[in-house]
Amino acid sequence: MFRGAMVAIVTPFNEGEVDYDTLGRLIDFQIENGTDAIVPCGTTGESPTLSHKEHDRVVEFTVEKVNRRVKVIAGAGSNSTREALRLTTHAQAVGADGALVITPYYNKPTQLGLIEHFGKIARETDIPLVLYNVPGRTGVKLEPETIAELSTLENIVAVKEACGSVDQVNKILNLCDITVISGDDSLTLPMMAVGGQGVISVAANIVPGAVSKMVHSALEGRWDEARKDHYELYSLFNMMFIETNPIPVKTALAMMGKVKEEFRLPLCGLSSENRIKLESLLGSYGLK
């Protein structure tokens, strides 16, 4: 259902407000360059600092702007099951194709708690759900056995794996046949080599065509070509995490003239030292 090159799209701001005109242009830029799905209101979209009203509107706007040209997987996670269910229900109501639901952060539920959390959302909605496993952000990890158990629920169709471990993917696919999507750009190709079906990418914000080319080469079995693309993009993949995501990628988009360089606290601008490194690398890729 969900495979290919998918972008965790940034949320552009202007004078403290969501800049919908710019967001619309970014969505068109993605679709024109081969992106298979738009993922609004994820970590890269600064979802923790969006108000509930803004979050709902960004998802609605994205669905409207995409207009069925590609899929929309709406970020819908929370550390409150009630709130995650509300966000997921809203994504379903406005016509999103799926919902990306992160493991609850800060309160650190047990594996049983995770099963009950995702199970409740799955049972009370019909929209396809993508589990989001990123323990470095949340402090809790979905274990492969837990993912396998959750995969028996009809509308839990995929997991975005950002554990930084290809072996995690091996273990999941050894236990069940859920779709695994990479959440780490630099591990996309290794994950696809053992059965992953694509990526929800940060780097695709700035090089959507190149990420799409790499992913589709792998999906179509052109491994030599995909490997070449991977190494060509590898430095860029790493640069996008030189500081906390989405600081580098949003700064890169600003350097490319696509967004205003504006964050919401507690995120702040890129350090001067890393700005020099980013400018130099973008120049070497012909992106500045």
142-152 burial, b at 16+ Cβ within 10 Å, e below that, comes to: bebebbbbbbe
CA pair distance 179, 134, nearest whole angstrom = 16
Which one, of 52, 113, 32, 45, lies nearest residue 73 by Cα?
A: 45
55: its two tokens: 């979050």
Range 211-217 contact pairs with CB under 8 angstroms and sequence separation of 24 or more:
211/5, 211/7, 211/35, 211/185, 212/4, 212/5, 212/33, 212/34, 212/35, 212/36, 213/34, 214/5, 214/188, 214/189, 215/4, 215/5, 215/188, 216/4, 216/5, 216/34
* Catalytic residue IDs: 132, 160
SS3 content of the chain, % helix, strand, coil (to 5): 50, 15, 35
Which one, of 9, 35, 39, lies nearest residue 22 by Cα?
A: 9
